[in-house]
Amino acid sequence: MLDIASLTELLAQPQKIVITTHHKPDGDAMGSSLGLYNYLIQLGHHVKVITPTDYPDYLSWMPGNETVIIYTDNLAEAATLIAEAKIIFCIDFNALGRINDMGALVGKSEAFKILIDHHLEPEDFDDYRYWDIKACATAQLIYKFIAEELGHKELINKEVATCLYTGIMTDSASFSLPNTTSEVHRITADLMDAGAVNWQINDLVYNNSSENRLRFLGICLSQRLEVLYEYNTAIIAVSKQDLEKYEITTGETEGIVNYALSIAGIRLAAFIVERANEVKLSVRSRGEIPANDICKKYFNGGGHRNASGGISTDSLEQVVNKFKSILPEYKTLLIK
């Protein structure tokens, strides 16, 4: 275990550092990782961000993105970097399984592992932990780690600020979730003062759809949405054929689940999508309804109480039926 004094001492000398984040990285995963990257390079460290998988184009514009290595495309180089690292930052994930095959490499590496995250119940694989489930985004924690833990607020430059703003904006669903506290707004204001341009970042992330993506969204809403009013639940289920027809990549389905949750009275929503070899679920809920329990218990997944995900090797139809079949168990919470 490390304490903050020994971590500060370690970071006072240039080190070989790897930053990694969960597979299929989202805005917070990339924003947090690159925000930390842009901070650490100012201290003279040799830093590489390695993502377990690829990520969508609307996240590929952040400062430092050109230096990111995708593990699946660079197995040997990534393995060497992980083996030689003195420090590995594990960002926005709580279990080595969330970084796929990289988990084994990170697990056996002798590097100090620093976990910065806001997910429930982290596994015990880290040497230092900066963790708070109340944070709306890991990017909020990266800001506090740099500014408060390490006392380097002055190193939050335009590049760092732009990345962290992106993480906070995306994980707080554009500052709309209950965990968007006044502290989040204060941090966001600091990031704007440091050079993050809010409207540009919003445009780059959200006003960047392909025509196909918009047409696909139309199909999801008009033809694939099923509303179960007796359980205040809405489901959007899409097949592999739907994805192929509109040439939809993984990242382009992000956020569609929120349309289902936006129906008045709906308290639980699932976006269920058939991918190459598996069916992936994105589950969102309101209030006390534990989306993470549902995903953990029935779909090999987990996450936050109101935003979780899971996976299944059953067919799309089986997964949809299974999801419907568990609703009676949660009926009292759903119809409250």
Binding residues for ligand 5GP, per CB under 6 A?
A: 119, 282, 301-304, 307-311
Number of residues that bind Mn ion (CB under 5 A): 4
Q: How far is the CB of 77 from ligand 5GP (least distance, A)?
A: 26
Q: Tell how strand 302-303 and strand 268-274 pair up.
A: unpaired
Q: How far is the CB of 70 from ligand 5GP (least distance, A)?
A: 18
- Contacted entry of ligand 5GP, Mn ion, none for residue 41, CB cut-off 5 to 8 Å set by kind: none
Q: How many CA atoms lie within 13 A of 285 on its CB side?
A: 25
* Edge-to-edge strand ranges of the sheet holding 46-51: 69-70, 46-51, 16-21, 87-91, 112-117, 128-131
Which residue number, 103 or 303, has a Cβ lying nearer to Mn ion? 303
Q: How far is the CB of 309 from ligand 5GP (least distance, A)?
A: 2
Give the list of residues 6+ apart from residue 21 with CB closer than 8 angstroms, or none: 29, 30, 32, 33, 49, 51, 52, 90, 91, 92, 93, 99
- Contacted entry of ligand 5GP, Mn ion, none for residue 119, CB cut-off 5 to 8 Å set by kind: ligand 5GP
Query: Which span (137-145, 175-183, 184-192, 194-202) binds Mn ion, by CB under 5 A?
Result: 137-145
Q: Which of 54, 171, 252, 254 contacts Mn ion by CB under 5 A?
A: 171
Which residue number, 49 or 307, has a Cβ lying nearer to ligand 5GP? 307
Tell me the C-alpha distance between 158 and 184, whole Å: 18
- Contacted entry of Mn ion, ligand 5GP, none for residue 138, CB cut-off 5 to 8 Å set by kind: Mn ion
Give the list of residues 6+ apart from residue 203 with CB closer than 8 angstroms, or none: none
Q: Which of 7, 19, 23, 28 contacts Mn ion by CB under 5 A?
A: 28
Q: How far is the CB of 38 from ligand 5GP (least distance, A)?
A: 22
- Contacted entry of ligand 5GP, Mn ion, none for residue 25, CB cut-off 5 to 8 Å set by kind: none
Tell me the C-alpha distance between 279 and 313, whole Å: 6
Q: How far is the CB of 185 from Mn ion (least distance, A)?
A: 18
Q: How far is the CB of 197 from ligand 5GP (least distance, A)?
A: 25
Q: Which residue stretches of the chain are H helix?
A: 4-11, 27-40, 75-84, 102-108, 138-144, 158-171, 182-193, 198-206, 211-223, 240-245, 256-261, 291-298, 316-325, 331-334
The tokens for 319 are: 């997964």
Which residue number, 72 or 300, has a Cβ lying nearer to ligand 5GP? 300
Q: Which of 20, 109, 138, 180 contacts Mn ion by CB under 5 A?
A: 138
Tell me the C-alpha distance between 59 and 65, whole Å: 9
Q: Which residues bind Mn ion (CB under 5 A)?
A: 28, 92, 138, 171
